[in-house]
Amino acid sequence: MDIRITHSQVKKEKYTDESTLGFGRFFTDHMFEVTYTKDKGWHNAEILPYHRLSLDPASSVLHYAQEFFEGMKAYRTDDNQILLFRAKDNCARLNRSAQRICMPEIDIDFNYKAIKTLVDIERDWVPSSEGSSLYLRPTMIANDETLGVKAASNYLYYIICSPSGAYYKDGLSPINIKVEDKYVRAVRGGTGEAKTGGNYAASIKAGDEAVKLGFSQVLWLDGEEMKYVEEVGAMNMMFLIDNKLVTAKLNGSILPGITRDSVLTLARDMGITVEERKIAVEELVDAGKSGRLTEAFGTGTAAVISPVGMLAYKNEQVIINNRKIGELSMNLYNTLTGIQRGRIKDKFGWITVV
Ligand X SMILES: *Cc1c(COP(=O)(O)O)cnc(C)c1O
Q: What residues line the site for ligand X (CB under 6 A)?
A: 71, 195, 231, 234-236, 255, 257-260, 299-301
DSSP 8-state assignment for residue 15? P
User: Considering beta carbons, is residue 121 or 159 the nearer one to ligand X?
Assistant: 159
Sign (positive or negative) of CA dihedral 177, 180, 183, 189: positive
User: Considering beta carbons, is residue 76 or 195 the nearer one to ligand X?
Assistant: 195
Contacts of 147 (CB under 8 A, 6+ apart): 58, 63
User: Considering beta carbons, is residue 232 or 281 the nearer one to ligand X?
Assistant: 232
Counted residue by residue, the chain has a size of: 354
CB of 86 to ligand X, least distance (A): 8
CB of 81 to ligand X, least distance (A): 22
Rounded to whole angstroms, how far apart are CA atoms 333 and 66?
34
SS3 109: helix
User: Considering beta carbons, is residue 90 or 294 the nearer one to ligand X?
Assistant: 90
* Chain CA centroid to CA 186, Å: 17
Contacts of 207 (CB under 8 A, 6+ apart): 217, 218, 233
CB of 289 to ligand X, least distance (A): 28
Got the DSSP string for 256-305? --HHHHHHHHHHHHTT--EEES--BHHHHHHHHHTT-EEEEEEEETTTEE
CB of 194 to ligand X, least distance (A): 9
**Do 101 and 152 meet the contact criterion of CB atoms below 8 Å apart?**
no
Nearest in space to 296 (alpha carbons), one of 287, 268, 251: 287
User: Considering beta carbons, is residue 28 or 306 the nearer one to ligand X?
Assistant: 306
CB of 290 to ligand X, least distance (A): 29
User: Considering beta carbons, is residue 31 or 194 the nearer one to ligand X?
Assistant: 194
Measured in degrees and rounded to the nearest 5, phi and psi for residue 162 equal -135, 110
3-state helix, strand, coil in the chain (%, to 5): 25, 30, 45
CB of 195 to ligand X, least distance (A): 5
User: Considering beta carbons, is residue 47 or 140 the nearer one to ligand X?
Assistant: 140
CB of 260 to ligand X, least distance (A): 6
